[in-house]
């Protein structure tokens, strides 16, 4: 996407960066901020940069000449695919010819014993380097081509999926009531159970879908930008008993068409009812979606009342 500096300065570079070059360019921009910026008085500890004085042309020239040692690409933004993932799962070639392998645990939960086994696999199949992602996924780096198949098998044996279902791939949960003093409801176990139910009930579902589960009104699991965002709260069931449940947000998205999901007025779902509700919504999505349409776009077309 287009590179920007501080939006308050209104400076824009107008260049476009291929996805695999984003880390290098991002590192260059951060280095300019570090090398040429300065801090104001401690009472106003906000970072100010010389970019406003330079203008975008000089900023870009310094980025190219001093940090990247190559030209940036001009032109319009490339079209974003109708369906896309941003979690780095699967097997991908690195610039040096080796491969990195991304895999998914259930709702981001990995215990100490499993982490030790992941480290052993990384040592045996690569350089030992492992990374985590913003989507609660993990990556083993620097894997030789002849070692990829063995690594994938080793990860799958630990129930760490390299090619997971859309539900395993797209369900995220915060820490939840088990370990967080702010949480009101359970999230990790609830998310894992939801994955199992959806894989059993609609195994044919093959569209990218994000289901983010949060244990309280905070946004640690980013419920606002999920296809289906679930904000934990206590509620009354049909018998008047207080139970764990979720306020539903629908149609959030990241990317070029980013936006917050809509909170469906009055729509709360108990934990027990959650699989039924999600299955019902996804069933309607499958029936009504237009060719290539994302869930967020479909949800915007569907009326809030009909999705309750």
Boundaries of every domain in the chain:
2-74, 90-163, 168-307
Record the pTM.
0.76
CA distance 145 to 93: 9
Cα-based angle 228, 232, 236 (whole degrees, multiple of 5) = 110
Are the C-beta atoms of 107 and 59 separated by less than 8 Å? no
Contacts of 5 (CB under 8 A, 6+ apart): 11, 12, 13, 29, 49, 51, 56, 59
E strand or H helix at 14, and its extent?
A: strand 12-16
CA distance 260 to 222: 10
CA distance 237 to 270: 7
Q: Is the pLDDT at 234 greater than 90, yes or no?
A: yes
Distance of CA 282 to the CA centre of its chain: 20
Residue 306 has, within 13 A of its CA and on its CB side, a CA count of: 11
pLDDT band at 305 (very low <50, low <70, confident <90, very high): low
- The structure tokens listed for 214 are 């949060």
Which stretches of 175-258 are DSSP H helices? 188-201
The DSSP string of 102-150 is EEE-GGG---HHHHHHHHHHHHHHSSS-EEE-TTSEEEEEEE-GGGHHH
Residues 236-288 pLDDT 10s: 988 889 999 999 999 998 876 778 888 876 789 999 999 999 999 999 999 99
Residues 109-138 pLDDT 10s: 999 999 999 999 999 999 999 999 989 999
Q: What are the backbone dihedrals phi and psi of residue 288, each rounded to the nearest 5 degrees, phi first?
A: -105, -15
168-307: same fold as 2-74? Answer: yes
CATH architecture of the domain covering 2-74: 2-Layer Sandwich (3.30)
Pairwise pLDDT comparison (67 vs 18), residue with the higher score: 67
The 10 Å Cβ neighbour count of residue 262 is: 18
Give CATH superfamily name and number for 168-307. Sulfite Reductase Hemoprotein, domain 1 (3.30.413.10)
% residues pLDDT > 70 (the chain): 83
The answer regarding whether domain 90-163 maps to CATH 3.90.480.10 reads yes
Packing angle of the helix pair 112-125, 148-157 (nearest 10 deg): 170
In this structure, of 30-34, 224-228, 281-285, the range with the lowest mean pLDDT score is 30-34
């Amino acid at each position: 996407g287009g590179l920007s500096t501080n939006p308050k300065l209104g400076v824009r570079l107008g260049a476009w960066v291929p996805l695999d070059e984003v880390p290098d360019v991002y590192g260059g921009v951060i280095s300019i901020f570090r090398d040429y910026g300065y801090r104001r008085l401690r009472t106003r500890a906000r970072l100010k940069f010389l970019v406003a004085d330079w203008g975008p042309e000089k900023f870009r020239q310094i980025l190219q000449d001093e940090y990247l040692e190559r030209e940036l690409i001009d032109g319009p933004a490339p079209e974003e695919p109708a369906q896309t993932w941003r979690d780095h799962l699967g097997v991908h070639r690195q610039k040096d010819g080796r491969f990195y392998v991304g895999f998914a645990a259930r709702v981001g939960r990995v215990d100490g014993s499993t982490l030790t086994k992941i480290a052993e696999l990384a040592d045996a199949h690569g350089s030992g380097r492992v990374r985590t992602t913003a989507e609660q996924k993990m990556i083993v780096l620097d894997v030789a081509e002849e070692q990829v198949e063995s690594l994938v098998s080793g990860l799958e044996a630990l129930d760490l999926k390299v090619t997971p279902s859309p539900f395993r791939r797209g369900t995220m949960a915060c820490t939840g009531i088990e370990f967080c003093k702010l949480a009101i409801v359970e999230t990790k176990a609830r998310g894992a159970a939801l994955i199992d139910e959806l894989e059993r009930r609609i195994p044919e579902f093959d569209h990218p879908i994000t289901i983010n589960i949060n244990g309280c009104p905070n946004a640690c699991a980013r419920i606002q930008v999920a296809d289906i965002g679930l904000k934990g709260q206590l509620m009354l069931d049909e018998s008047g008993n207080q139970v764990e449940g979720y306020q539903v947000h629908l149609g959030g998205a990241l990317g070029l068409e980013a936006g917050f999901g809509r909170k469906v007025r009055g729509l709360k779902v108990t934990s027990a009812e959650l699989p039924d509700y999600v299955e019902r919504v996804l069933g309607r999505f499958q029936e009504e979606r237009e060719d290539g349409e994302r869930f967020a776009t479909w949800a915007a077309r569907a009326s809030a009342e009909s999705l309750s």
